[in-house]
Amino acid sequence: MRRSLIPRSLTRRRFLWGVGQGALLASLAGNRMAQAACDPATSPCQLRLVATDGHFALPGRTQADAATDPVAQEGPLYGFGFSQGGFGDSISALTAEHKGLVQWTAPIIAVDEADELFVTMTNVGFQYRPDLDDAHTIHWHGFRNPVALFDGVPEVSIAVPPARDFPYFFPPRLAGTYMYHCHFEDVEHVQLGMDGVVFVRPEQNKTGNGAGAPIARLGGNAGSPVLGYAYNDGVATSNARSTAYDREFTLLLNEVDPRPHDNLMAVQEFVWSDYKAGYWLINGRAYPHTLIRNGDTLGEEELLVNEDPTGQQGPDGSETLRQPISSLIQVNEGDRVLLRLVNLGYDQQSMQLASIPMRVVGEDATFLRGPGGADLSYVTNTIYIGPGEARDVLFTAPAFTGTGTPDILTGAPYNSHLLKNRNVHTLHNNGLTTDGLGGQVTEVWVYPSGTLPAIDPTNPLDGPNRTYISL
């Protein structure tokens, strides 16, 4: 590997402290929600996902690297992905708007238990490999008892060729965290980036329970002290086994072996049993990009890519953000925090939050409750998670220590807790590090009580992975 050069401007300081005028600019730009938005005109939820190709930025593989350092690498990495389109848009309109513009990772999808989800997936084809006629599918991984037609496996049902779409129907019955991905030539399409988180919120949000858990804010009770529940736990919110939470974050883990990505752009084959990761990502970003907040346009500059990875201007001359989902976990002291962890990489991982005890309450969308209601949840600092597995994890944010780092964007002080992959040999970005770190690393920032506003489900910005660039 010829990676002796440290990329321009890639320092942790840039993301944590911004530059002088960063706070003002960022606050003007505003926040942005990471969750896919249902079509507002319809109920139940209807979504449009667009399958295409494009590029995304990794440390050492940014637009700036390609422009200033052609020796270092080939610029942004090639990939496939899903992005969200207008539910009622025509295929030609979606093609014009989305072709060659992937989102990494795919939009977060949230749905309520016993509700219904309609996802129309449109394949607009590849911008950069027009010789390929790959079809795509959506596989809801872990969906119980689907019919084969909606399970998204091309060899045992159907796949969707370019310039066609298909209406998937999902009526989820049981709460928990799941994932979705393309199953067409899946070793390639999943590695290339067609993966996302889908989760099901429990009925208890809407009904509360007789044991002392009120209807949650997510269930429509605007004044509720509880944002939501991870599962239908059936206990009072004061009970140690309650799954009530105040903030929720999805963390999709995967890895990138850059060779198949580069080979595809170079019209070359890859031997898939050669797979060996070089990047380890959370929500499609490597540290320190994981810390860039949603809507922090200054920080996001590092992630912008052109349509053309050689640095030439694309069709409309614009640079766009393809990796919009922050992994920064901003909370107030005492907050009950839900982490929805999903592994769609090909390697087993071990995620460690060394300074805050975590309680695993769900595995593979199964509430850890045994016969007779026995509590099978467990407390740990390290979450071991295999490919295709999911974990629902709760922690209570520790007290603010009284002195903390000032947050340049919000102005408020905070304490930082590192959430990292304990397979520490992965803590680099294809051989590069930033301040000695890289890979699957993010941080939990704990602010003094009352610093961050409570999550308001009626606010369109207040979805999962809510971050704050201003208060």
In the region spanning residues 262 to 321, those forming contacts with other proteins, defined by CB under 8 A, are: 264, 267-273, 275
Strands (E), 37-125: 45-56, 77-85, 109-112, 117-123
Please give, one letter per residue, the 3-state secondary structure of 84-105. Answer: EECCCCCHHHHHHHHCCCCECC
CB 184 within 8 A of CB 121: no
Query: Shortest Cβ distance from residue 412 to other proteins (Å)?
Result: 40
Report the residue from 20, 40, 370, 402 that binds other proteins according to the rule CB under 8 A.
370
Query: Shortest Cβ distance from residue 124 to other proteins (Å)?
Result: 15
Report the residue from 133, 319, 435, 456 that binds other proteins according to the rule CB under 8 A.
133
Query: Shortest Cβ distance from residue 383 to other proteins (Å)?
Result: 13
Query: Shortest Cβ distance from residue 153 to other proteins (Å)?
Result: 6
Q: Which of residues 339-368 bind other proteins (CB under 8 A)?
A: 346-348, 363-366, 368
Q: Which of residues 376-415 bind other proteins (CB under 8 A)?
A: 376, 386-390
What is the size of the binding site for other proteins (CB under 8 A)? Answer: 72
Query: Shortest Cβ distance from residue 16 to other proteins (Å)?
Result: 35
Q: Which of residues 146-165 bind other proteins (CB under 8 A)?
A: 146-151, 153-161, 164-165
Report the residue from 184, 245, 249, 468 that binds other proteins according to the rule CB under 8 A.
184
Tokens standing for residue 121: 């997936």
The alpha carbons of the chain give a radius of gyration, in whole angstroms, of 21
Query: Shortest Cβ distance from residue 275 to other proteins (Å)?
Result: 4
Question: Which CB atom, from 99 or from 189, has the smaller least distance to other proteins?
Answer: 189
Report the residue from 116, 236, 241, 418 that binds other proteins according to the rule CB under 8 A.
116
Helix (H) or strand (E) holding 223: none
Closest CA to 73 of 129, 128, 5, 12: 5
DSSP 289: G
Closest CA to 32 of 429, 465, 427: 465
**What is the arrangement of strands in the sheet containing 176-181, beginning at the earlier edge strand?**
109-112, 195-201, 176-181, 139-141
Query: Shortest Cβ distance from residue 334 to other proteins (Å)?
Result: 30
CA distance 421 to 254: 12
Find the part of the chain contacting other proteins (CB under 8 A) among 171-179, 230-238, 333-341, 446-454.
171-179
CA distance 68 to 59: 14
Say whether 318 sits in a helix, a strand or coil: coil
CB 320 within 8 A of CB 314: no
Query: Shortest Cβ distance from residue 241 to other proteins (Å)?
Result: 13
Strands (E), 357-449: 358-363, 366-367, 378-380, 382-385, 390-396, 405-406, 413-421, 441-447
Query: Shortest Cβ distance from residue 246 to other proteins (Å)?
Result: 27
Report the residue from 79, 81, 107, 142 that binds other proteins according to the rule CB under 8 A.
142
CA distance 87 to 29: 26
Closest CA to 394 of 205, 196, 240, 202: 240
Q: Which of residues 40-69 bind other proteins (CB under 8 A)?
A: none
Question: Which CB atom, from 98 or from 189, has the smaller least distance to other proteins?
Answer: 189
Question: Which CB atom, from 135 or from 339, has the smaller least distance to other proteins?
Answer: 135
Question: Which CB atom, from 167 or from 450, has the smaller least distance to other proteins?
Answer: 167
Tokens standing for residue 244: 């009530």
Closest CA to 323 of 278, 347, 292: 292
Question: Which CB atom, from 72 or from 264, has the smaller least distance to other proteins?
Answer: 264
End-to-end CA distance of the chain: 44
Question: Which CB atom, from 41 or from 374, has the smaller least distance to other proteins?
Answer: 374
Question: Which CB atom, from 69 or from 347, has the smaller least distance to other proteins?
Answer: 347
Helix (H) or strand (E) holding 337: strand 336-343
How many CB atoms sit inside 10 A of residue 29's CB?
15
Query: Shortest Cβ distance from residue 421 to other proteins (Å)?
Result: 16
Q: Which of residues 187-206 bind other proteins (CB under 8 A)?
A: 187-188, 190-191
Question: Per CB under 8 A, does 169 bind other proteins?
Answer: yes
- Give 256's strand partners: 279
Query: Shortest Cβ distance from residue 233 to other proteins (Å)?
Result: 16
Query: Shortest Cβ distance from residue 206 to other proteins (Å)?
Result: 14
Question: Which CB atom, from 343 or from 434, has the smaller least distance to other proteins?
Answer: 343
Residue 353: Cβ-neighbour burial (10 angstroms; 0-12, 13-18, 19+): buried
Find the part of the chain contacting other proteins (CB under 8 A) among 144-152, 298-306, 415-423, 461-469.
144-152
User: Please, how many CA atoms are within 13 Å of residue 317, restricted to the half-sphere of its CB?
Assistant: 0
Question: Which CB atom, from 179 or from 446, has the smaller least distance to other proteins?
Answer: 179
